Amino acid sequence: MRANTADPFNADVIAAALDKPARFRLEIIDRCESTNTLLLDAVQQGAPSGSVAVCEAQTAGRGRRGRGWLSAPADSLTFSLLWRFPPGLPAPAGLSLAAGVAVARALEGLGAAGIGLKWPNDILADGAKLGGILVETVTAGGCHIAVIGIGLNLRLPRAIAEALEIRAGSLDSVMPHAPSRNLLLAALLNALLSLLDEFERAGFAVLADEWLARNVHAGQLVRILAEGAAPVEGRSVGVDADGALLLDTEAGLRRIVSGDVSLRPA
C-alpha cells in the first residue's frame, strides 16, 4: 500500500511521459534504507541497465562523505538509476558532473530559473542547495556499472530546513509551482538517458563546457577540505576532461580529484 500523499507516484503516468519507456524498468517503493543501496544489491542479481528505484521515504539515505540525506515524503524526489556501460569502456570518470548537467537540463526544461552546479555533485539555485547526486560504481563481468542517486527538494518543510547545516532551497522557490513528481522523474530520466548515451560515446570531455557554464564557483577562491590532509586553497579555473577540479594555487595549477573531499568558499 502506498503512502497517502498529495502527489503519489504512478508508474503509468511516468511511463507515458518517458521518451523511451522500454529503456527503463521502474520500481516504486514506499520505504527503503536507500535507493542506491537497493540497486547496488540488485547489480549482484543481474538487474538490467535502466533499472530505476524511486522511494517515498528513505530511512538511511546517503550523500557523499557518509553524510545522511534528509527528505520528506511528497515534498522531495529521491531515486536511483542503474546503468551498465559496455565492456571495454574505461571507468566513468566525471560521471557525477555529467549527471549534474542532465539534472540542470531537465529542470531548466521545466522552467526552473538560475540552476547552478557546485563541484562535484550539488544542484543549486541562488546559492541554496536544491539537491545532490551520489554516484557509486562497481565492476562486474568486465564492464563498469554505475548507480546514480539523485535527491531533489520540491518544497522545504521547516523541520528539515532547521535540521540542515547548509542553506537549502527547493524547486517551488525557482519555479511558478513545484512540479508533479511523476513528470519531474520522467523529465530527469529522459535527460539522463540522452546524456548517458553522449557520455558513452565521448566521456565527460564533451560535456565539460556545459558544466562550466553553470559552475557556481567559477573564478572564485575556494578551499578544498579532506580528512587527514591540509586544506588546499586556490582559484577555481575549470575542470579537466575527467571531471577533476582545476585550482590555480600559489604553488601552480593543481588537479583535485572527486572523492572524499569537500569544497567551500575560501
Catalytic residues, by residue number, are: 64, 129, 264
SS (H, E, C) 58-89: ECCCECHHHCECCCCCCCEEEEEEEEECCCCC
Cell output for 217: 564557483
Positive or negative torsion for Cα 135, 218, 235, 223: negative
Cβ within 8 Å of residue 262, ≥6 positions away: 65, 224, 225, 226
